[in-house]
Structure 1
Amino acid sequence: MIRRRKSYRQLPKSEISLGVAWRWISYQELREATNAFSETNILGSGSFGSVYKGTLSDGLDVAAKIFNLLSERVTKSFDIESQVLRTIRHRNLIKTIGCCSNIEFKALILEYMPNGSLEKWLYSHNYFLDMLKRLNIATDVALALEYLHHGLPFTVLHCDLKPSNVLLDEDMVGHVGDFGIAKLFGEGESIAQTKTLATIGYMAPEYGSEGILSTSGDVYSFGIMLLEIYTRKKPTDEMFGENLSLKSWVSQSLDENKIIEVVDANLLRREDNNFSAKKQCVLSILALAMECLINSPRERISMREVVVRLEKIKTMFLRTTKDAKDGNGEKINE
């Protein structure tokens, strides 16, 4: 409690004012909600611990993120997540309902996302996301990052953006979660941090080599994820080996004749209705991703610009596909 009070005193006043009702849930209630942490209730697991589906006494379905306290890093992760998530709210961020915490047990109680992760939808043979759904989810993620970077009196860096950290609600709206290594920046705070915390393949070059954190690092991770959404290839895919990367593989095919070679085969086929409109939409999106992936962090675009561009691409795609149905198709121009 002393440590918690200290952390609150260190927060900016503007950050505290954003706090909302926070539920303190007892261990017994959480145990009953998850059927004694039954294996049948596990939604996922990782180095931090496990996530269980549960139903609280008032009937609310939740996801309980149980932390493995044997690791000092995991304990710190709990402190960071609870500090970040209880002070921010956005439609496209996972809502934290409360926590269950004592000396021997720590858990965050999160809103339940019934459609699971973006990663599941990309790589499971039983699920499929069409062009517009992928664009909507990408925009949801971009809006969440824009809010974290530019919509608060302080800056929040996610630091570990990837498809497994994007969860989908019952309406397939994307929500960014897992702030275990997120960072809040106050005025005059250093941006040099311990490196190698982020996931290999998604981290920006300056983070991997120098441990430098900035909003541009999140932009880079978003760019990689944008490529992954439309190619259905992980940045660590074995096909890339040592001399190739997802970024370089896509960049070699950014023209109308080659783009079909790198796009998810289930997403873009020559026999598809509105093939030309879909192809131009993908070209525009992958070109935007490349602007997020410029090696120099100072030259990358901001998430504000990304949101504007994605909305423009979506508007043009919808207009073109509508015109195509009316027999007046037109080419989408960048």
Structure 2
Amino acid sequence: MVYKGILKDGIIFAAKVFNVQLEGAFKSFDTECEILRNLRHRNLTKVITSCSNLDFKALVLEYMPNGTLDKWLYSHNLFLNLLQRLDIMIDVASAMDYLHNGYSTPVVHCDLQPSNVLLDQEMVAHVSDFGIAKMLGAGEAFVQTRTIATIGYIAPEYGQDGVVSTGCDVYSFGILMMETFTRTRPSDEIFTGDLSIQRWISDSFPGEIHKVVDSNLVQPGDEQIDAKMHCLFSIVELALNCTIVRPDARISMKDALSTLKKMRLQLVSSWH
């Protein structure tokens, strides 16, 4: 459970309280403390402090007033335009690139999804929830695990064999991108049998992506429709490169980030 609190000096914070009755709660708390204590990045949730005794475990985190990306995608009274969604993806990719390459040992988040992307006052995205994250040892390309992540966002090799590598996060990031720009959950009821969100989008690429992207992003008569469709084409192409079945064939998080930054530059310059 996450609670909102206010200190005497008016600072608002979020308190994430772990259910110590749940199996794995202690491990989840310890993992999150261990990882977040050592990491510093503008797109990661900032830990203020932690509280721990035998029957109570909590993390005190910076409060994010705009809630989750999930809330912004699916609330009927909220809307994110194309540039806002692209900026959020760049923020998330920056955080993931830092986790994979900016720290002494690579960290794999393992549970990237819209409910774990939090938005601050300025709509800057912060990746949260490191409860099942894994640290790769020196020289390790992957580790084995029995921890199950969220169905729909899991890379095939993780779901089937418990193999965790930075490529798992790349896959989840690809699904996150697909969901963000189609406004369709990977668990949506339209996906049955062999049809997954990845297959649905892949089948529409390149000629019919207008059928799958969120129709609110490109309205008929929009003067910038060509530039927006070109950007969405590039986004879908990148998402497909993130979700290739073979982990070693997927793009790296570093390359995904630089690709997104180029897309943003192209989109913004086409408007002037």
Range class of TM-score, shorter chain: over 0.9
Alignment of 1:127-276 (within 5 A): 127-187=78-138, 191-195=142-146, 197-256=148-207, 258-276=208-226
Which protein is bigger by CA-based radius of gyration? 1
The one-letter code of the counterpart of 1:203 is I
- Unaligned regions of 5+ residues in structure 1, if any? 1-49, 323-334
**Normalising to structure 1: TM-score of the pair?**
0.79
Check 1:188–1:255 CA distance in 2 against 1; reply closer, same or farther (3 A cut). Answer: closer
Q: Tell me the percent identity.
A: 54
Q: What TM-score, normalized to structure 2? A: 0.97
Stretches of structure 2 that go unaligned for 5 or more consecutive residues are none
Structural mapping, 1:51-66, within 5 Å: 51-66=2-17
Aligned ranges for residues 311-330 of structure 1 at < 5 Å? 311-322=261-272
Equivalence for 1:46: none
Bigger RCO of structures 1 and 2 (CA < 8 A, at least 6 apart): 2
- 1:297-319 deviation digits (Å, cap 9, x = unpaired): 00111011001100110111111
Aligned equivalent of 2:243:
293
**Contact 1:113–1:169 (CA under 8 A) maintained in structure 2:** yes
Tell me, in whole angstroms, the C-alpha distance in 2 between the residues paired with 1:251 and 1:188.
Answer: 34
Answer yes or no: is 1:100 the counterpart of 2:54: no
Question: How far did 1:188 drift?
Answer: 5.3
SS of residue matched to 1:140: helix
Letter matched to residue 287 of structure 1? E
Query: Which shifted more, 247-256 or 160-169?
Result: 247-256
The one-letter amino acid paired with 1:54 is G
Contact 1:64 1:107 in 2 (8 A): yes
Distance 1:137 1:259 in 2: 21
Distance between the aligned counterparts of 1:286 and 1:188, measured in 2? 32
In structure 1, distance between residues paired with 2:132 and 2:191: 28
Q: How many residues align structurally?
A: 272
CA RMSD of aligned residues (A): 1.2
